[in-house]
């Protein structure tokens, strides 16, 4: 008798002797232990940064959307964020606002996610450019607001925003050359890519001319499934903020 012919009846027997497993009651999906307070998906670049960071970390979280139209509900929800700014992450007793603090918190809580580069020098570089993003580029923000639903190719870029655009192109070009792309710090996306993702979308919304390396980076970031998911949700948002809908 071959091994195969012995094995067959044994398998059948055990199948006969074993009563069918009782139908399992489907458990309700566990509620995520984390929440992230967000504002408009179309206009809020800070919300996008916080959301990408949480997704890069692999953290399951509930989105708490701050309504942009209802003033009283807005005030109530803003209490969730002590600085009255979004995004604000709540996770296992921690309440964290400011995207840089959220990045640091998530990197500490989820060390395997690689939110920062592993190399000390590259990590310092990543933190430096993220800090520069969080505290700078005011002219770029003011003149090219994030608007994922819009496309304004004839938008006249204010002279004051040009040095910001040049500096961002310099940051990206240097990172891509030094670490080899396609992300800012090499093959794996990190917190810096989340920080600069809304700049990518601005460059595309307003057709900002950039060099080939930066254009390639814009393509890489645009193709990220998480960003695609966010943009799809932004397109479904009904509310519009008129002041931010520019058409030139």
Ligand X SMILES: N[C@@H](CCC(=O)N[C@@H](CS)C(=O)NCC(=O)O)C(=O)O
Tokens 């399951």 found at: 60
Minimum CB–partner distance for residue 22 and ligand X (Å) = 50
The smaller minimum CB distance to ligand X, of residues 46 and 116, is found at 46
Report which of 40, 39, 35, 64 is spatially closest to residue 236, judged by C-alpha positions: 40
Q: How far is the CB of 215 from ligand X (least distance, A)?
A: 26
Give 183's DSSP letter.
Answer: B
In the complex, the smallest distance separating the C-beta of residue 88 from ligand X, rounded to whole angstroms, is 8
Query: What's the closest the beta carbon of residue 44 comes to ligand X, in angstroms?
Result: 4
Pull the structure tokens for residue 222: 């645009």
Report the DSSP beta bridge partners of residue 37.
Answer: 64, 88
Total residues interacting with ligand X, rule: CB under 6 A: 10
Quick one: which of 99, 143, 147, 169 contacts ligand X (CB under 6 A)? 99
- Report the alpha-carbon distance of residue 100 to residue 103 in Å, rounded: 5
Whichever of 137 and 179 has its CB closer to ligand X, that residue is 137
CB 47, min distance to ligand X, A? 6
Nearer to ligand X, 89 or 210 (CB): 89
Q: What is the Cα–Cα distance from 40 to 243, expressed in whole angstroms?
A: 14
* Binding track over 73-92 against ligand X, x by CB under 6 A: -----------xxx------
Rounded CA separation 97/110 (Å)? 17
Q: Which is nearer to ligand X, 130 or 210 (CB)?
A: 130
For the bound state, the minimum distance from the C-beta of residue 46 to ligand X, rounded and expressed in Å, comes to: 4
Beta sheet of 34-38, edge-to-edge order: 62-65, 34-38, 88-91, 94-97
Nearer to ligand X by Cβ, of 161 and 194: the residue is: 194
What is the per-residue binding string for ligand X in 121-140, x denoting contact by CB under 6 A? -------------x------
Helices 120-135, 162-179: inter-axial angle, 10-degree rounding: 170
CA distance 201 to 127: 21
Q: How many residues does the chain have?
A: 248
Backbone angles phi, psi at 27, to 5 degrees: -75, 145
Q: Which one of 35, 42, 98, 169 is in contact with ligand X (CB under 6 A)?
A: 98
Contacts with ligand X, 35-64, as mask; x by CB under 6 A: ----x----x-xx-----------------
Q: Which residues here bind ligand X, judged by CB under 6 A? A: 39, 44, 46-47, 84-86, 98-99, 134
């Amino acid at each position: 008798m071959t091994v195969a012919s012995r094995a067959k009846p044994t398998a059948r027997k055990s199948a006969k002797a074993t009563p069918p497993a009782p139908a399992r009651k489907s458990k309700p999906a566990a509620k995520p232990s984390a929440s992230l307070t967000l504002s408009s998906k179309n206009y809020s670049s800070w919300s996008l940064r916080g959301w990408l960071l949480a997704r890069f970390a692999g953290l399951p979280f509930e989105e708490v959307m701050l309504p942009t139209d209802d003033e009283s509900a807005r005030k109530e929800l803003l209490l969730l964020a002590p600085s009255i700014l979004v995004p604000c992450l709540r996770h296992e007793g921690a309440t964290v606002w400011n995207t840089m603090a959220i990045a640091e918190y998530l990197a500490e809580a989820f060390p395997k996610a690689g939110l920062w580069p592993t190399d000390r020098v590259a990590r310092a570089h990543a933190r430096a450019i993220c800090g520069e993003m969080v505290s700078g580029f005011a002219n770029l923000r003011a003149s090219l607001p994030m608007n994922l639903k819009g496309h304004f190719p004839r938008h006249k870029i204010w002279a004051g925003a040009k040095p910001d655009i040049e500096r961002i192109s310099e940051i990206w070009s240097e990172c891509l050359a030094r670490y080899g792309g396609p992300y800012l710090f090499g093959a794996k996306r990190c917190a810096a890519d989340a920080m600069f993702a809304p700049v990518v979308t601005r460059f595309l919304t307003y057709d900002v001319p950039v060099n080939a390396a930066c254009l390639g980076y814009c393509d890489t970031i645009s193709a990220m499934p998480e960003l695609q998911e966010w943009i799809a949700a932004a397109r479904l948002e009904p509310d519009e903020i008129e002041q931010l809908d520019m058409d030139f």
